[in-house]
Amino acid sequence: MSVPIDAPVQSPVIETDILIIGAGPSGLYGAYYAGFRGLRVTVMDVLPQCGGQISAMYPEKPVFDIAGFPSVRGRDLVDNLVAQAAPYDVQYLLGERAMDLAHDREGRPVVRSDTGTVVRAGAVVITGGVGTFTPRALPAGEDFLGRGQVYFVPDPAAHTDHDVVVVGGGDSAFDWAALLAPIARSVTLVHRNARFRAHAASVEKVRALGIEIITDSEVSALHGELGVEKVEVRHRVEKTVRLLPARTVVAALGFIADLGPLQAWGLELQARRIAVDTRMATNLPRVFAAGDITDYPGKVRLISVGFGEAATAVNNAATVIDPKAALFPGHSTEKEN
């Protein structure tokens, strides 16, 4: 929870103006905007790479709701956001989970990560998307995790010429099946029901590619010596069993999302989201939030909305850090290159 720190912090402290928690699109745009305002900015994320869900779940998928881009591949969007912030010497703390929040004697937020890193900031902006998301496990595949069984496909080329079995019936399952079909030796999709959660267009695309779809079935076992070699698929009604060749098994069974340690910070929550006002300020001093993790009346969860919220949060944080600072710093076109 947020409490004053009475004793000096023992670990080496990173001093920054704004700490952004979450390196998804909103966080990366917030990093650019903080740099644009002349603020020192540090970005912390539990994932080992920037991009949040885009990098983890659909880096090759086109995104259509970014203003000015009829279509942009997820990976390219993330790369462009990182490049946009690069001139401002953003400090990235990747693979680190924000654990504890406190305030020092001057009221500045102090955040500790699970690796022991301590960051003291003028303000914190939380842009954690859906929070911490944990893949739903494939019970039959736990022993093969990292040995052929995966939850994400960040690099499709790594599965070139593989026999691939995708397990699931949602958009991610169908997207990855379609993505891997041109480069894999074979792709088979297995789903426990005859109905799918995926968009109808995604289902038709997979069917048009000639990918075999096995329904009313579950993966009951994986077999192999050093890695996956065979997948045992059992029909839920007929109880018949098939053995499929496989070198890669993609478990696309969805995710369990929660706010993780942030739930103990004392933030006001609404339906497991962080409540904010029109300044994107939370109920905690010097703590703001933006993007999908926030909630307020009329909230619309789009990447494009998150960009605007991040700019709003940073501008308001800037006036808290320096009360003499202007809320609106001017347009970027007014700045000299």
Q: Where is the binding site for FAD, in residues? A: 26, 45, 53, 58, 98, 133, 292, 333
CB 24 within 8 A of CB 52: yes
Q: Tokens 């699931």 label which residue?
A: 168
What CA–CA distance (Å, rounded) separates 160 from 176? 13
CB neighbourhood size of 296 (10 A): 14
Concatenate the DSSP letters of all residues of 37-81 into one string: TT--EEEEESSSSTTTHHHHH-TTSEE--BTTBS-EEHHHHHHHH
E strands along 179-216, which residues? 186-190, 212-214
User: 263 is written with which tokens?
Assistant: 């739930």
Q: Detail the residues annotated as belonging to a binding site.
A: 26, 45, 53, 58, 98, 133, 292, 333
> Which residues partner with 243 through β-bridges?
232
Distances (CA, A) of 310 to 63, 67, 100, 106, 272: 19, 15, 22, 25, 20
Nearest residue to 267 (alpha-carbon basis) of 133, 117, 101, 30 = 101
CB 308 within 8 A of CB 327: no
What CA–CA distance (Å, rounded) separates 315 from 333? 17
CB 60 within 8 A of CB 176: no
CB 52 within 8 A of CB 77: no
What is the Cβ-side half-sphere exposure of residue 208, based on CA atoms within 13 angstroms? 8
